[in-house]
Structure 1
Amino acid sequence: MEDNPWQTLGVQTVYDNRWIRVEHREVLHPGGGRGIYGLVHFKNRAIGVIPLEADGSTYLVGQYRYALGQYSWELPEGGGPLEEDPLEAARRELREETGLEADHWQLLLKMHLSNSVTDEVSLIYLARGLRSGPAQPEETERLRVERLPFEEVYRRVVAGEITDAITVAGVLRVQALRLAGEL
């Protein structure tokens, strides 16, 4: 393991809400000079779920993403507080957004979403043995759910039609497992 070549000289919180904290940091960088660093600390994990039916189909959720100013198709996903069991957060997000519940869960990936300025961590689960129920979206969400063949979702990822990082990484991981005969 490498030693940390950065030295933090001071930290000032410039913004704080229930989801993020933004810090201005005075640092000594690896070259030895003084500098600044902006850091966004996330108070939730990003959780994504690939619900996979026995016939190989999966589900995408469509919604307007305010930060991007555009509509986005993505896996069922959301935030789970750091103190919450991530699997419970995944179960909740799947149920809220699609109404689905699953008997079998597998952690597919743990990744950092933007490690240059944030500490956000994402976990992506595979859910199988699905049962349908009523969706329970949050009041801030207006969602559209589509069931599609996995091959179509993979095609959309490869074509650049789906750009959500969690969805891209999760779909590519499932495709790699399928090609290796591990799914």
Structure 2
Amino acid sequence: MPRKPEILNCQEVARSRLFRVESVDLRFSNGEERVYERLAARGSAAVLIVPMLDDKTVLLIREYGVGVEDYELGLPKGRVEAGEDPLEAANRELMEEVGYGAKSLTKLKLLSQSPNYMQHHTQVVLAQGLYPQTAEGDEPEPLIVEQYPLADLDQLVLRDDFTEARSLAALFLARAHLSR
């Protein structure tokens, strides 16, 4: 395993309401120096929930993604608030976005996104034993909840309205976990 580069300097170079951009000066073990930019983490990780209505059916949501300028099918997700446990955050987001709570929540894997450019991490959580329960969320419009057979995952990944990599990875992780 190579030795990690030495961080020579790190400073914020831009900020918006949602993002902080940092410039990071690095020196690698061979003496090479480079300047990288990254989206800096803002506190806690996020959660992405795989809600299983029963042993075979996952609940997906359809919501508008401004990044792709279209409605996308994916899994419920959200930010872990300061001082909140990731499993509590997952259950809260599930209630807000899908209208269910979960009796059983299992951490499957902590995922990174674009690790060369982002510090952000997402905890994938499997939610089982669902029961009807709602909570007020921050979505600008009601989300559409759709049931999908987990056995048809191979067809889901081919759909044009299902493109989010985190949701794709989470469903494969959940399918592997559930098949054990």
| TM-score, with structure 2 as normaliser | 0.86
Gaps of 5+ in 2: none
The answer to whether 1:112 aligns with 2:123 is no
1:54-69 mapped onto 2 (5 Å cutoff)? 54-69=54-69
Shift in Å, 1:101: 0.5
Shift in Å, 1:83: 3.9
Tell me, in whole angstroms, the C-alpha distance in 1 between the residues paired with 2:115 and 2:92: 26
The answer to whether 1:12 aligns with 2:11 is yes
Shift in Å, 1:33: 2.7
2:26 aligns with 27
2:168 aligns with 168
Equivalent residues of 1:154, 1:172 under 8 A apart: no
Shift in Å, 1:150: 1.9
Q: Match for 1:77: what amino acid?
A: K
Q: Match for 2:140: what amino acid?
A: T
The answer to whether 1:123 aligns with 2:123 is yes
2:48 aligns with 48
User: Secondary structure, in 3 states, of the residue corresponding to 1:104?
Assistant: strand
1:136 aligns with 136
Tell me, in whole angstroms, the C-alpha distance in 1 between the residues paired with 2:38 and 2:177: 35
Equivalent residues of 2:101, 2:134 under 8 A apart: no
Bigger mean CA deviation after superposition, 50-59 or 29-38: 29-38
Which whole-Å deviations, capped at 9, do the CAs of 1:153-172 have from their partners, x for residues lacking one?
A: 45212x25422122111111
The answer to whether 1:36 aligns with 2:31 is no
Tell me, in whole angstroms, the C-alpha distance in 1 between the residues paired with 2:41 and 2:72: 22
RMSD in angstroms over aligned alpha carbons? 2.2
Number of residue equivalences: 178
1:148 aligns with 148
Tell me, in whole angstroms, the C-alpha distance in 1 between the residues paired with 2:174 and 2:139: 31
Give runs of ≥4 in structure 1 deviating > 4 Å. none
Equivalent residues of 1:154, 1:171 under 8 A apart: no
Tell me, in whole angstroms, the C-alpha distance in 1 between the residues paired with 2:75 and 2:123: 12
| TM-score, with structure 1 as normaliser | 0.85
Gaps of 5+ in 1: none
Tell me, in whole angstroms, the C-alpha distance in 2 between the residues paired with 1:174 and 1:133: 22
Shift in Å, 1:62: 0.8
Which whole-Å deviations, capped at 9, do the CAs of 1:120-152 have from their partners, x for residues lacking one?
A: 111111111111133633143542111222223
Tell me, in whole angstroms, the C-alpha distance in 2 between the residues paired with 1:115 and 1:31: 22
